[in-house]
Amino acid sequence: MKHLQRHLLVLLLALLPGVASFAGEAADSLYIFRFVQGKDAFYAPWRDNSAQLEALLTLLRAHREAILSGSIPVRVDGYCTGQAPDEENRRMAAVRSNRVKSELIGRAGVTEACFVTANHAVEYAEGVRNVVTVTLCIPADINETKEDLPDAADTDLKIVQQEQRAVQQEQRIVQQEQRAVQQEQKAVQQEQKAVQQEQKAVQQEQKAVQQAQKPARQAKSEAATPEQPTPTRWKEQSLSLRTNLLYDAFLLPTLGVEWRISHSIGLKLDGSFSWWGGNHGKVQKVWLVNPEVRWYLLRDRRFYVGVSGSYGEYNIYKYLPGKLLKGDTGYQGKLWNAGVTLGYQLSLSRSFSLDFNLGLGYTRSAYDSFGMTDGVRIHKQQDGTKNFPGPTQAGISLVWTIGNNK
């Protein structure tokens, strides 16, 4: 029975606009919005909600002033079944009604006071549940008739289209500005590249000028600075010849050789030989060999220490070395010694240097001493020996390094 009454109510609502128009009285407009079972969210794309919503919004905008003034009431009815108990159905219907009203308030510019709301825990019609209906009762004598509605809708559409055109124009302006910014950025990048190229060119020119000025600066430096001996820089292996100028001055010619097997180590061998005079007067007959191992120190490899030894024979009477001894006594014998050597090489040029050295150690000599009367030797002491610590060698040697020492 209740379902039959609802069907009759729907039929009457559908016939009311025509009856009202015919009678010159109010005409109702009915809009139905459907909801998903068990959900309270309002989905415009669901079923025909979107078309119903657009038609309702057009009508609300056309009669906004009358609705806001209260001349045209807007009735909202929410229907919900399928929940338990009925209170839950009414609560769900109320939430759905509020969803629809919120959409209308936000988009049509109406207020909550414009609505008359009722919520029901029953079906809207047989098999029709979970809906919200919106009904407008529009008086027939109102100035804005249904024939005017298309004009209002057209006006709203024109406004929307104008807004869209304005947005599109703004987008075009933004795109143009973006293109201008990109072009400016490209121009800045090109300018930066040009500046970098100019800087490279300037650097290359500066290098070329510096290279061109180097010979002139070197010439000025050479002219202003007095020539100095170039320090000898030893090869990994080198060979040098030497003579001890100090021994040469004592009429004991000396010739030696040194083999530098590395920057730091050298092997030296000196030989001294003199054969002056005869056996019946002044005499100086000496031969002496002096091997030595040297270790060159410090950065320039000029200072060195060494281990050396000497062996030789001598026959001396009244020659220069003999004058340093007892004036009327000669000596003939053998000697050997061993010790350490300290020295320094002073560079004179690439190939020549002076070697200053002094040896300290232990010397042993076995000898015979003699005198000379009318050219005849008279022995004073035979098989004499002498042992003493002290100098074992001394030298100021001129060294010639064979080859160009680089």
Q: Which fold has domain 2-159?
A: 60s Ribosomal Protein L30; Chain: A; (3.30.1330)
How many Å from the N-terminal Cα to the C-terminal Cα in the chain? Answer: 128
d(C-alpha 258, C-alpha 273), whole Å: 18
Tokens 């060294």 sit on residue: 399
* 3-state SS assignment for residue 161: helix
Angle at 220 between CA 215 and CA 222, to 5 degrees: 95
pLDDT above 90 for 230: no
Confidence tier at 22 by pLDDT (50, 70, 90)? very low
Q: How much is the average pLDDT of 214-241? A: 67
Q: What does the mean pLDDT of the chain come to?
A: 81
Which pTM value belongs to this model?
Answer: 0.41
**Residue at 242: amino acid letter:** R
Q: Architecture of 238-401 per CATH?
A: Beta Barrel (2.40)
Confidence tier at 139 by pLDDT (50, 70, 90)? confident
Residue percentage of the chain with pLDDT more than 70: 79
- Mean pLDDT is lowest, of 35-49, 122-136, 307-321, for 307-321
Of residues 140 and 15, more confidence is placed in 140
The DSSP-derived string for 163-231 is: HHHHHHHHHHHHHHHHHHHHHHHHHHHHHHHHHHHHHHHHHHHHHHHHHHHHHHHHHHHHHHSPP-PPP
Instruction: Report H helices in 238-334.
Output: 245-249, 320-323
Domain range summary for the chain, segments of one domain joined by +: 2-159, 238-401
Predicted local distance difference test score (pLDDT) of residue 53: 94
Q: How much is the average pLDDT of 16-30? A: 50
Contact between 332 and 367 under an 8 Å Cβ cutoff? The reply is: yes
- Mean pLDDT is lowest, of 24-38, 83-97, 145-159, 245-259, for 145-159
- As beta bridge partners, residue 344 has 303, 356
Can you read off the two tokens belonging to residue 216? 């002139």
CB atoms within 10 A of CB 102: 12
Confidence tier at 330 by pLDDT (50, 70, 90)? confident
Task: Read off the pLDDT of residues 79-97 as tens digits, 9 standing for 90 and up.
Answer: 998 877 889 999 999 999 9
d(C-alpha 105, C-alpha 96), whole Å: 14
Predicted local distance difference test score (pLDDT) of residue 267: 93
